[in-house]
Structure 1
Amino acid sequence: MVKAMEKELVIKNWVTIDQMSGTTAIGESSVVTLNFNSAYAQEIRNNATVVVNTNDPLNEQFEVDVNLLMNEGPDITTTVPYPTVIEMETLEVPFTITDKEGDNYTVEVNGAGEYYTYASTEEGIKISLAPGYFDQGIHDLELIATDEHGAKSSYKFQVEVVNVNRAPELVNSIATKEYYEDEELDNIDLNEHFIDPDGEELKYDVSVDNQSVVNIYTSATGIVIEPLAEGIATVKVVAIDPLGLKAETTFEIIIATVTGIEEITKSSTKVYPNPTDGPLNIVLGGEIEGEVIIDVLNIIGSSQYNTKITKSKGQYETKLDIANMPSGIYMVRIRTNDGDIVRKVVKK
Structure 2
Amino acid sequence: MDEGPTTTVDAASYFSDPDGDELDFGASSSNPAVAGASVSSSRVSIDGVTVGSASVTVTARDPPMRAAEGRQSFGVTVWPPPPPNQAPVVSSAVPAQTVTENESVSVDLDGHFRDPEGGSLDYGATSSDEGVATADISGSVLAVRGVSEGRATVTVTATDAGGLSADHAFGVIVRPPPPPNQAPVVSSAVPAQTVTENESVSVDLDGHFRDPEGGSLDYGATSSDEGVATADISGSVLAVRGVSEGRATVTVTATDAGGLSTRQSFGVTVEPAGSTNQAPVVTSTIADRTAIRGGELPLQAYRYFSDPDDDELSYRVGTSNLAVAFVRIASPAVFYVTAVSDGEAEIRVEAKDPGGLTASTSFTFAVGNNAPRVKTEAPAVTSSPGQTDWLVLSDYFEETDVGDQLNFSASSNNSGVASVSIQFHAIYGYQAKVGGVTPGEATIDMTATDRGGLTASTSSLVTVTANRPPQVTQSIGNQSLAVNDTLTWDLSHHFSDPDNDALTYTAAGGFAVTVSVSGATFQLVGATAGVSPVRVTATDPAGRTAEITFLASVSASQSIEGLASSNPRRRPRITLRHAPADGGGSLRAGVDAFGARWVRWTEAVAKDRAVLGGVPRSGHGRADDVFLLVSADRLVTLGLDESPEPLDRGLLRVVAADVEDLRDRAVLPRRDRRGHALRWRVRRQRVHRLGEG
- Please give the TM-score of this superposition, normalised by the length of structure 2: 0.18
The alignment's TM-score, normalised by the length of structure 1, stands at: 0.33
Q: Which has the larger radius of gyration?
A: 2
**More RCO (CA 8 Å, sep 6+):** 1
